[in-house]
Amino acid sequence: MVYKNREFHEAPPAMDGEYPPQATLEIAVSDALGIAGGVDAAHVTVVAEGSVVTLTGTVLYPQEVARAAEVAAAIAGVTEVRNAIRAVEPQPSRGL
């Protein structure tokens, strides 16, 4: 078996660190949403591009959309929140 040195375009691969800054920010926002009151963020995705955080997914009530943006904006390092969360109010159950 022949082992080759790891290279990418004739140069060794480079890593900025185990967790790039965007991942650290995404984790911080996700953790804050998970423990914040007033929002069930089980179906919310957080993506950071630099210091801009985009929230996508669904929540049950419209007031949770605003609460999620408020929580994300309060995290150190977040300069802008793009909120694309949709509220899907639960449908009343019908007895059969």
**Does 49 fall in a domain?**
yes
**Does 71 fall in a domain?**
yes
Claim: this prediction has a pTM higher than 0.85: no
Q: Which amino acid is at 63?
A: Q
The domain total for the chain is: 1
Q: Which amino acid is at 84?
A: A
**Does 39 fall in a domain?**
yes
**Does 27 fall in a domain?**
yes
**Does 68 fall in a domain?**
yes
**Does 59 fall in a domain?**
yes
pLDDT in tens, the chain (96 residues): 566 666 666 676 666 566 678 899 999 999 999 999 999 999 999 999 999 999 999 999 999 999 999 999 999 999 999 999 999 977 676 665
Structure tokens at 14: 């480079």
d(CA 5, CA 9): 12
Domain that includes residue 60, residue range: 21-87
**Does 16 fall in a domain?**
no
